[in-house]
Amino acid sequence: MAKTEAPARTKINYLTALKEAIFEEFERDADLVGMGEDIGLLGGAFGVTDGLLDKFGRDRVFDMPISEAAIVGTACGLCLNGKKVMVEMQFIDFISCGFDQIVNMTATYHYRTAGEVSMPMVIRGPAGGYGGGALYHSQMNEAWFANSPGLKIVCPSTPADAKGLLKSAFRDPNPVMVYEMKELYRRRDIEEEVAVGDDAIVPIGKARVRREGDDVTIVTYGNNVYHALAAADNLASEGFSAEVVDIRSLVPLDEATIKESLAKTNRLVVVNEAPRTCGFAGEILARLAEEAFELLDAPPMRVTRLDTPVPWVKPLETFVLPSVDKITETALRACRY
């Protein structure tokens, strides 16, 4: 698509941004097909693929049986034979039912064939807590896949990033997992103008500094970007200025941007929604402790979910998940160390 001056656009929400990415890329690439539960006739459980079947037809959009393993596995075969596939997980929690096909079949394909076969597959789906979805509609299980070499992982927090990263994912020759924040799908206060076509592309593997500051770096992604920004407001009223880094991509991770920030603040707090043990925050902490120890004036700290499932009712859910208060408190400890 030509890089022309984009006309002024109305602000769109996160879900519409995803939808635009899908429609634009389906239009651009005739080899791209979609597979998922209820993505056709219904248009997806959340409406992300609403209208896709009407526009692109039954040879491009497949309403699949409730069979996550077959969905991913069939997509794997399609990729082996020249197609590109968008796989929708109805909820990212259900991905465990297709786990083997992702980590053993798809993620390893390029490696075990010494580069003969690549897997241009996008696996996307609604993820994350804070909505009272309970144990099986609240998960952030990205660490399972970060621990499986061969998969790229992104987690956008804004409409522009949602569209831009999803478009990049479609054009990547590797399997890319897109963790969509369902609590952000229709959130009004984050709506923004988003570019069209190639101008909308956001490269995978680049972090974004969401707020600049000098005293502490808060590194996070997804829902917790907003909690971190609110915590930064709290810190400001305590006289500390926090820098908020939204990594956007977990694999590959933009360590350079985090290190640049640390060089300025010398204090690190990492937030992830997943459980503490072996969560991705631990990986970020480990890498920075190994590679940027001299930059740290305080122990690097984590704010994560407790090592529990995500419970249903609000007081319980709030108790286990990271929050503005927990981030504020931890960042203050880092600042005052």
Partner 1 sequence: MRTGKPEDASDNVPQRPSAKLGVQDYKELLNQLYLARYFDVRLIKEKKRGRLKGTLYSSHNQEAVIVGSLFGLQPTDWISPIHRDMPAFFMKDFRSGWRNPERLGMSIQEVCAQVWGRTGSPGRARDNWSHIGSRRAHIVHSTSMLAGTIPAAAGVVLADRLRGENTVALTYNGEGSTAQGVFHEAINFAAVHKLPLVTIIENNHWAYGTPTELEYSQRDFARRADGYGIPGLIADGQDVLDVYDKVMEAVEHARSGQGPSIVECKTFRAYGHGDHDDDRAAKYRPKDEVEDGRKRDPIAVMKEQMVKLGYMTKAEAAMFAAENKGAGEVTDADFPPEVVAYMNEGVEFAVAQPEPPAEEGGMWVFAEGE
Positions marked catalytic? 137
Q: Which is nearer to partner 1, 101 or 224 (CB)?
A: 101
Q: Which two tokens stand for residue 17?
A: 């941004």
Dihedral sign of CA atoms 179, 136, 223, 63 in order: positive
Closest CA to 187 of 154, 225, 219, 217: 225
Residue 53 binds to partner 1 (criterion: CB under 8 A): no
Q: Report the site for partner 1 in 84-103 (rule: CB under 8 A).
A: 100-101
Binding residue for partner 1, selected from 45, 70, 292, 296, defined by CB under 8 A: 70
Q: Which two tokens stand for residue 118?
A: 């690549």
Smallest separation (angstroms) from partner 1 to the CB of 78: 4
Q: Which two tokens stand for residue 288?
A: 């920075």
Binding residue for partner 1, selected from 45, 47, 50, 117, defined by CB under 8 A: 117
Residue 239 binds to partner 1 (criterion: CB under 8 A): no
Smallest separation (angstroms) from partner 1 to the CB of 243: 30
Binding residue for partner 1, selected from 11, 55, 112, 336, defined by CB under 8 A: 112
Binding residue for partner 1, selected from 118, 141, 234, 318, defined by CB under 8 A: 118
Residue window 166-195: x/- pattern of binding to partner 1, with contact defined by CB under 8 A:
-----xxxx---------------------
Binding residue for partner 1, selected from 45, 69, 134, 292, defined by CB under 8 A: 69
Residue 152 binds to partner 1 (criterion: CB under 8 A): yes
Smallest separation (angstroms) from partner 1 to the CB of 63: 10
Residue 147 binds to partner 1 (criterion: CB under 8 A): no
Smallest separation (angstroms) from partner 1 to the CB of 116: 6
Q: Rounded to whole angstroms, how far apart are CA atoms 125 and 181? A: 8
Binding residue for partner 1, selected from 59, 189, 290, 294, defined by CB under 8 A: 59
Ramachandran class of 114: left when φ > 0, alpha when ψ lies in -120 to 50, beta otherwise: left
Q: Which is nearer to partner 1, 72 or 262 (CB)?
A: 72
Residue 197 binds to partner 1 (criterion: CB under 8 A): no
Binding residue for partner 1, selected from 26, 109, 221, 280, defined by CB under 8 A: 109
Residue 201 binds to partner 1 (criterion: CB under 8 A): no
Chain residues binding partner 1 by CB under 8 A are: 33, 59, 64-65, 67, 69-70, 72-83, 100-101, 104-105, 108-118, 149-150, 152, 171-174
